[in-house]
């Protein structure tokens, strides 16, 4: 998504270009074909011809996922060059950008936000409204709509996912079976089915809401839909839960990272779990402190999770990870609700640890599609002669 957004923006500044050349580096190159990065960029530059250079072993600049766009006229003289990075969740950072300029709120740490909320007697969602203005609710309503649309489409679609791994969609069958089994199994079947539905849509390249990324986009909608099924909930209450989730995701993005290429899957699935756990507590009527506790647990219990997508496709292990993170998010929310919200390790501490852990994880396990499960599956295929 980020390379596509970057290409669209670059196209607007180079409308006379007769050809584009794109250089992709590091994990963006290693997983680019599986993530359909070349297709997304070519579509953004269409109808102008685009050539690609892939440098999976090389990285440039300060951030992961670097890319360079070059625009040429028909001579071919180089008209313009742009260098930037895909930093997760569809966001782009151009070379020379100051990350601090992109912080939406005055405070990025939940501890500071908690203090402000305590002193003003407000909730997290009221804090969001304070800085974003009332128009945020209309925006979040459209986000909610798209989440529901993606989830519903995923539940009603069957067949094999594209990419050549032969992974069959599971959401639809799981959902239908869950409706038959009975009340006690609803969470065990329904909630993962919701998460699978969205993650399978993402694997097909269909429209999803990045929450916080495409790879982890199934967790938050699944938890919100599941809680909505259980408790009578208004649209505005759902939007408030999204606002809380956004505040949590923003804190992780600003103080650590939501990029699998930078910190491993803990930054994608772990962050999604934290966001969903916080949103669930909000929907269940919990306090700010219980929300912070649930988010802390959601991230803490994914620390160290590596990013090792088989064949660079966002399918194995990504799709099932969405389902298990959704289940864990709901458990974290219930755990926090049963407590008074007091705990020792703060959410901000865990974010800091996640960042450090991510940097300590060997590069192989940060979206190279060459380590962990990605490597094991290749071996298995070779050994079995497939």
Contacting ligand SF4 within 181-200 (CB under 6 A): none
Q: Which is nearer to ligand SF4, 147 or 361 (CB)?
A: 361
Residue for token pair 């009332």: 134
CB of 128 to ligand SF4, least distance (A): 26
Pairing, β 19-25 against β 91-94: unpaired
CB of 208 to ligand SF4, least distance (A): 12
The answer to whether residue 209 forms part of the interface with ligand SF4 (CB under 6 A) is no
Question: Can you spell out the DSSP letters for 117-182?
Answer: HHHHT--HHHHHHHHH-TTHHHHHHHHHHHHHHHHHHHHT--SBPTTSS-PBP-HHHHHHHHHHH-
Do residues 59 and 85 lie in contact, with contact meaning Cβ atoms separated by under 8 Å?
no
Question: Can you spell out the DSSP letters for 233-255?
Answer: --HHHHHHHHHHHHHHHHHHHHH
Angle among Cα 186, 189, 194 to the nearest 5 degrees reads 105
The answer to whether residue 216 forms part of the interface with ligand SF4 (CB under 6 A) is yes
Q: Which is nearer to ligand SF4, 17 or 214 (CB)?
A: 214
CB of 24 to ligand SF4, least distance (A): 16
CB of 238 to ligand SF4, least distance (A): 24
DSSP character for 211?
A: S
What the block records as the tokens of 39 is 């297709």
Q: Which stretch binds ligand SF4 (CB under 6 A): 113-121, 155-163, 186-194, 301-309?
A: 301-309
Provide the H-helix boundaries in the chain: 2-13, 26-30, 37-45, 110-120, 124-132, 136-155, 171-181, 186-203, 219-230, 235-255, 260-263, 269-283, 288-300, 318-338, 347-360, 372-383
The answer to whether residue 314 forms part of the interface with ligand SF4 (CB under 6 A) is yes
Q: Which is nearer to ligand SF4, 286 or 309 (CB)?
A: 309
Q: Which is nearer to ligand SF4, 32 or 260 (CB)?
A: 260
CB of 63 to ligand SF4, least distance (A): 16
* Residue 144 to residue 283: CA distance in whole angstroms: 14
Q: Which is nearer to ligand SF4, 66 or 212 (CB)?
A: 212
Q: Which is nearer to ligand SF4, 163 or 309 (CB)?
A: 309
Site string for ligand SF4, 242-271 (x = CB under 6 A): ------------------x----x--xx--
- Contacting ligand SF4 (CB under 6 A), which of 66, 309, 358, 371? 309
Q: Which stretch binds ligand SF4 (CB under 6 A): 124-132, 138-146, 182-190, 310-318?
A: 310-318
Q: Which is nearer to ligand SF4, 108 or 213 (CB)?
A: 213
* Residue 329 to residue 234: CA distance in whole angstroms: 21
Q: Which is nearer to ligand SF4, 253 or 321 (CB)?
A: 321
Integer CA distances (angstroms), 206 to 121, 142, 197, 198, 199, in order: 41, 17, 11, 9, 10
CB of 317 to ligand SF4, least distance (A): 6
Binding residues for ligand SF4, rule: CB under 6 A, are 215-216, 260, 265, 268-269, 307-309, 314, 317-318, 321, 367
């Amino acid at each position: 998504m980020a390379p596509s957004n970057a290409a669209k923006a670059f196209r607007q500044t180079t409308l006379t270009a007769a050809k584009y050349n794109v250089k992709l580096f590091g994990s963006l190159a290693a997983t680019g074909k599986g993530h359909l990065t070349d297709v997304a960029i070519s579509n953004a530059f269409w109808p102008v011809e685009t050539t690609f250079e892939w440098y999976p072993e090389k990285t440039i600049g300060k951030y992961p996922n670097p890319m360079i766009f070059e625009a040429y006229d028909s001579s071919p003289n180089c008209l313009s060059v742009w260098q930037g990075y895909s930093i997760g969740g569809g966001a782009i950072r151009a070379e020379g950008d100051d990350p601090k300029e992109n912080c939406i709120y005055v405070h990025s740490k939940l501890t500071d936000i908690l203090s402000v909320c305590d002193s003003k007697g407000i909730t997290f969602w009221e804090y969001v409204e304070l800085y974003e203005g009332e128009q945020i609710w209309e925006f979040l309503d459209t986000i909610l709509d798209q989440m529901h649309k993606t989830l519903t489409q995923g539940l009603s679609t069957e067949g094999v996912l594209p990419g050549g791994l032969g992974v069959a969609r599971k959401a639809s069958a799981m959902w239908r079976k869950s409706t038959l089994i009975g009340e006690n199994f609803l969470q065990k079947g329904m909630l993962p089915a919701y998460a699978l539905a969205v993650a399978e849509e993402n694997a097909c390249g269909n429209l999803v809401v990045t929450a916080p990324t495409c790879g982890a986009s199934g967790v938050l909608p699944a938890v919100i839909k599941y809680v909505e099924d259980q408790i009578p909930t208004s649209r505005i209450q759902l939007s408030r839960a999204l606002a809380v989730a956004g505040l949590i995701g923003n804190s992780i993005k600003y103080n650590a990272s939501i990029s699998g290429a930078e910190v491993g899957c803990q930054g994608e699935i772990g962050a999604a779990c934290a966001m969903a756990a916080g949103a669930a507590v909000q929907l269940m009527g919990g306090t700010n402190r219980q929300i912070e506790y649930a988010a802390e647990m959601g991230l803490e219990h994914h620390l160290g999770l590596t990013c090792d997508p088989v064949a660079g496709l966002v399918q194995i292990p990504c799709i099932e990870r969405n389902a298990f993170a959704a289940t864990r998010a709901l458990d974290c929310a219930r755990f926090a609700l049963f407590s008074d919200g007091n705990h020792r390790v703060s959410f901000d501490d865990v974010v800091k640890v996640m960042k450090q852990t991510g940097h300590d994880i060997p590069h192989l396990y940060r979206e190279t599609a060459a380590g962990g499960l990605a490597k094991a599956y290749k071996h298995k295929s070779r050994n079995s002669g497939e």
